[in-house]
């Protein structure tokens, strides 16, 4: 069943148009890689989905018209966002950050710290004092605490050291394998995305330029539209 559907979505920042026709769907249990070079509209697409900017076109989530939804209701509907830049509450502890996001469902503190044992070890530590990788784990943990039906990871591993990046990819793989949670993942590493994603959508200048099963994305198309 289709969980998220965008048809011909357009969006602007004031007078400057950023999306010119984005079309994508994510089925339940599916992991979609949203790809494209810098500035092609990936984050703007995420903002449109999460109602952080006004957008036109068809946007539905679980058959609900997202246009009717105020942004604060996005989490209630089941959209769990791990934003670019992480945005944890820096002065709150790990445990307070997680509790602040909690909504009823199978994901609770124990399950999150099971996925990321390091968060369990640092429960009483202020978020500001965590390493970049730990902050990203916290941002993912916080999104999971909302018990989302779709987890959106914008720049899943940006700016992280190689070993921590590996840990994040392992967690994403584990989430997919063990829970079948639907995911939309943005990341610079096409190689890692190819391992985890079922399908890909590539944006070029605010438009869907290519979409299809990940294994059908040929090297020439990838190099042309995404780069290496
Ligand atoms: P990146 O990988 O660099 O984050 P992206 O694909 O996520 O790239 P977006 O951040 O969605 O790209 O940007 C799409 C377009 O919208 C770009 O031309 C960008 O300059 C513009 N844009 C993004 N944010 C704003 C903003 N707050 N105000 C005005 N223009 C913006």
| Contact assessment for residue 206 and residue 34, using Cβ atoms and an 8 Å cutoff | no
Q: Measured in angstroms, how far is the CA atom of residue 206 from the centroid of ligand 1? A: 9
pLDDT reported for residue 12: 96
> Which of 11, 12, 39, 152 should be mutated for ligand 1, with most atoms under 8 A from CB?
39
Phi–psi pair at 17, nearest 5 degrees = -80, 135
pLDDT reported for residue 85: 79
Q: Measured in angstroms, how far is the CA atom of residue 120 from the centroid of ligand 1? A: 35
Residues 6+ apart with CB under 8 A from 93: 123, 124, 125, 126, 127
CATH class of 2-78+149-225: alpha beta
Q: How far apart are CA 61 and CA 68, in angstroms?
A: 11
pLDDT band at 30, cuts 50/70/90? very high
Q: How far apart are CA 145 and CA 2, in angstroms?
A: 23
pLDDT digits (tens, 9 = 90+) for 75-126: 888 999 998 877 888 899 999 999 999 999 999 999 999 999 999 999 999 9
- For the beta sheet containing 182-185, the strands, ordered from the edge strand earlier in sequence to the opposite edge, are 64-65, 55-61, 2-13, 16-27, 207-213, 199-204, 31-35, 182-185, 150-153, 79-82
pLDDT reported for residue 84: 87
ipTM of the complex: 0.94
pLDDT reported for residue 228: 62
Query: In the numeric block, which tokens belong to residue 148?
Result: 């989302």
**Range(s) within the chain of domains with CATH label 3.40.50.300:** 2-78+149-225
pLDDT digits (tens, 9 = 90+) for 120-170: 999 999 999 999 999 999 999 999 999 999 999 999 999 999 999 999 999
pLDDT digits (tens, 9 = 90+) for 44-86: 999 999 998 999 999 999 989 998 887 778 788 899 999 887 7
* pLDDT over 80 (residue 194): yes
The share of the chain scoring above pLDDT 70, in percent, equals: 100
| Contact assessment for residue 150 and residue 61, using Cβ atoms and an 8 Å cutoff | yes
pTM for the model: 0.95
Q: Measured in angstroms, how far is the CA atom of residue 44 from the centroid of ligand 1? A: 6
Identify the bridge partners of residue 79 per DSSP, sorted by sequence position.
150
Q: Ligand 1 atom closest to Cα of 46? A: 11
Q: Whose CA is nearest to atom 28 of ligand 1?
A: 13
């Amino acid at each position: 069943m289709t969980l998220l559907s965008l048809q011909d979505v357009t969006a602007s920042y004031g007078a400057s148009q950023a999306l010119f026709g984005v079309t994508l769907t994510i089925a339940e249990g599916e992991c979609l890689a949203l790809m494209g070079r810098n500035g092609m509209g990936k984050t703007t697409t995420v903002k449109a989905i999460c109602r952080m900017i006004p957008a036109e076109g068809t946007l539905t989530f679980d058959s609900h018209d997202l246009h009717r939804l105020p942004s604060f209701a996005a989490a209630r509907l089941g959209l769990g966002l791990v934003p670019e830049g992480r945005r944890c509450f820096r002065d709150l502890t790990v445990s307070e950050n997680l509790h602040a996001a909690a909504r009823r469902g199978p994901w609770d503190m124990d399950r999150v710290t099971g996925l990321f044992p390091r968060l369990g070890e640092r429960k009483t530590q202020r978020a500001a004092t965590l390493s970049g990788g730990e902050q990203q784990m916290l941002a993912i943990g916080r999104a999971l605490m909302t018990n989302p039906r779709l987890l959106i990871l914008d720049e899943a591993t940006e700016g992280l050291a190689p070993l921590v990046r590996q840990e994040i990819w392992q967690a994403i793989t584990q989430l997919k394998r063990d829970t079948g949670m639907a995911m939309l993942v943005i990341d610079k590493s096409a190689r890692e995305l190819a391992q985890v994603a079922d399908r890909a959508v590539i944006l070029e200048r605010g438009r869907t330029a290519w979409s299809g099963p990940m294994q059908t994305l040929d090297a020439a198309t990838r190099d042309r539209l995404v780069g290496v």
